Structure formats: C-alpha cells, structure tokens
Chains A and B, each alone.
Chain A
Amino acid sequence: MNNIEEKLWNYIDGNCSEPEQKEIAGLIERDEAFRMKYEELLSLNAEFSAIELDEPPMAFTYNVMEEIRAEHAQQPLKAAFNTRIIVGITSFFAITIVVLLGYILLSINWSAGSAGAENIPVSFKLPDLSKYITAPVVEGCLFFYVVLALFLFDTYLRRKNIAKHAQ
C-alpha cells in the first residue's frame, strides 16, 4: 500500500518520469481501488494546501526594527568609522609630500656644487609656500599625524594581543 501511495504522491507532485506518469494515469483509469486512493490523496493534498499561516503579534515588525535601530545606536565609533576615509586622507598627504619632494629635487641645479666658484652663489627657486603653510595648517597636520600614529599603534597592539591569545 505504501508503495502505491508513494507512487501516487509522486504523481500528484509531478515528481515522476514520463513513462511512470503514463503508467499511473492508466492505473487510475482502469483500477477502481487505485482511483479511490488517488482521489483520497488528491483531496488530502488540497486540504494540506489550505493550511493557514499563523499571525505574529501586531507589533512584530516594529519590535524587529526597534532592535535593529538600538543595535545601530550602540555601535562603537571605531566600528562606525569608515577605514576608506583614513586610507584616502593618508594617500592625499603621502601624494602631497611626494610631489613636493619631487618638485624640490627637480628644481635643484645639481651641477652648481661641482662647477667651481664662478657658479656660486647657487640659485634655485623654491615655490613660495609660506602663504599656504600657516600655523593652523601645521598644527592641523601634526594633530592628524599624531592621531594616525595612535590609531596604527592601537591596531598593532590589538593584532599582537589577538595573536597572543590564538597561540
């Protein structure tokens, strides 16, 4: 009986091959007992399809979203800080330093030192940066480098600590 039921369920679910499908369809047509079983399972299938889903409490969505909002609010500043910003600022300063150094090095008349006394005094023209490099800018840069150094030092210590615990 189980075998028949299994075949019929597969037939109802559409999980059997084409020859099997034809065979079962023929059996349903010819065999009275088979047809009765098929009809019984078919009505059971319709019954199971009509299962009703349970309704969660009214405030369910609100509670979920409140939990998510609370989690966001508790997130530490370090985790909320986007590391791409740090990388971006670091890259900006690194590029600025490299460009300035390059410009200075290219502006130097390297032959001046070996050319003899007639070339003295050596004159090379530095760009006038005094109007840009003001005290607040220098202080700002220094502050940024100090913070960056502390951040990198903190990361180094944390990694060291993790490696120590992992051993």
Chain B
Amino acid sequence: MQSKLSDIELIQQTLGGSQPAYADLVKRHQRFVFTLALRFTKSREDAEEVAQDCFIKAYRSLASFNAQAKFTTWLYSIVYTTSMTFLRKKRLDTDSIDDENTFIQVESRQSGYDVNNVENKSRSFYLNQAIGQLLPDDAAIITLFYKGEQSLEEIGNTLGMETNTVKVKLFRARQRLKERLERNLKGEVKELI
C-alpha cells in the first residue's frame, strides 16, 4: 500500500533519515520513470538500469532539491540526463535514426500482420507500438505531456528547451505518432480511433 503523504513530506522524512519514506517515493513514481526511460532506451533491460540509476542519483542529491518546484519535474530531468548519458555511452546516436530505416523496421514487423487479428488486439497495443517507433525525444514529449501531468513549461525545464520549442516539438510528435499509427494499422486506423 502506498503512502498518502505528499512528495514533499516523504522527501522531508527521507532527509531526516527514513529509508522507508524513500521506498514509498520510488513506488509512487517508478512506473512513469521506467516508461520514460524505456522511451529513450527502447529496451526493458536498459530502461530498468537507467530508472534504477535515476532513483539512486535522486536519493544522493535529494538535499539539493528545491521544494518550490515540482518533485516530478526535477526527477524527470534526472531521467532525461541519465538516459542521454546512457545512450552516449552505448554510442547510440539518437539523432541519426533514419526515418527510412525505421520505416523498413515498421514494414518488416507488419509482414506477419493479420488483418483479422486487428480487432482482437487492444488499442493500447498499437499505440504503444507506434510510440516505440518514434524518435526518443518525440516519444518522451508525448509521454510527459499526456502521462506526466506536465505543462509545456515544465516539459521545457525537464528537457532543457524553450517552451515554444516544446510546443512545436509536441505538434510534430503528434503528427508523427498519427502517421505511425496509420502505417501500422493501414486502413484499420479509422475504425480504431
């Protein structure tokens, strides 16, 4: 059972030496941190490593957290920088993910595609599949906006971008996500959404 205390109260208790309070904080945010890490790393094993690293880093520098800001914005910025460092270490140039290559990957995944199965599969399956095919930045912005309860300004703080840049990127990310969904579902997308 998760604690009913606010993030700030749990942080204060943690700073006072209570490790169970931090465990509650981890339980509360682990799903989102893991998902966000997964958007960048594209692999569950790597996402687990990054997410774990994020919570340890957050614990170490908890005393430097400014309680005026939202804890989640601070935590997600740690996820972003940790993921970027992780990708750099793995020598994955995220910007060089070529659209054409991604499309080939998408098409090859669709080779075993059975139109009759479409109805049996849930909507979230196709949506998650489409998000997984987006560039890491696009996928992260979509996730932060829709599931992170973050405003454009807060997303800007998390990703180190101007609010207007985030607005433009969000618009483009939505367009790309829509295109991916349409490609994945071909004609079925109209029925699905």
Contacts and interface: CB of A to CB of B under 8 A. Distances in A.
Nearest to A41: B174
Interface string A43-59: 11001111111111100
A54 B31 contact: yes
B51 A56 contact: yes
Contacts of A61: 23, 26-27, 30
Contact of B34 (A44, A51, A56, A71): A56
Interface residues of A, number: 27
A15 interface: yes
Contact of B52 (A51, A52, A55, A64): A64
Contacts of A68: 19, 22, 56, 59
Contacts, number: 84
Contact of A52 (B22, B124, B175): B124
A47 B146 CA distance: 10
Given A56-B48, A60-B48, A51 B128 contact: yes
Contact of A53 (B31, B59, B175): B31
Contacts of B178: 44
Given A6-B171, A47-B127, A60 B52 contact: yes
B39 to A, nearest CB: 9
A67 interface: yes
Contacts of B26: 60-61, 64-65
Interface of A: 5-6, 9, 15, 40, 43-44, 47-57, 60-61, 63-65, 67-69, 71
Q: Sort A-B residue pairs by CB-CB distance and give the 9 closest, nearest first.
A: A56-B34, A53-B35, A53-B31, A54-B35, A64-B55, A52-B124, A61-B26, A48-B146, A47-B193
Given A53-B35, A56-B47, A65-B22, 4 more contacts: A5-B171, A51-B128, A56-B34, A71-B56
28 contacts: A5-B175, A6-B171, A44-B193, A48-B127, A48-B142, A48-B146, A48-B174, A48-B177, A49-B146, A51-B128, A51-B131, A51-B143, A51-B147, A53-B32, A53-B35, A54-B31, A54-B34, A54-B38, A54-B128, A55-B31, A56-B31, A56-B34, A56-B47, A60-B26, A60-B34, A61-B26, A64-B26, A68-B22
